Amino acid sequence: MGTIRNEIRRLRFEHGEMTQQELAEKIKVTRQTVNAIEQGKYSPSLEAAFRISAVFGKPLESVFHYSQDE
DSSP 65: E
Q: Does 5 bind another protein (CB under 8 A)?
A: no
H/E element holding 66?
strand 64-68
Interface with another protein, residue 3, by CB under 8 A: no
- Does the footprint of another protein cover residue 28 (CB under 8 A)? yes
Query: Pattern of binders to another protein over 42-61, x per CB under 8 A?
Result: x-xx--x-------------
The SS3 of residue 67 is: strand
Number of residues binding to another protein, judged by CB under 8 A:
14
φ/ψ (deg, to 5) at 23:
-65, -40
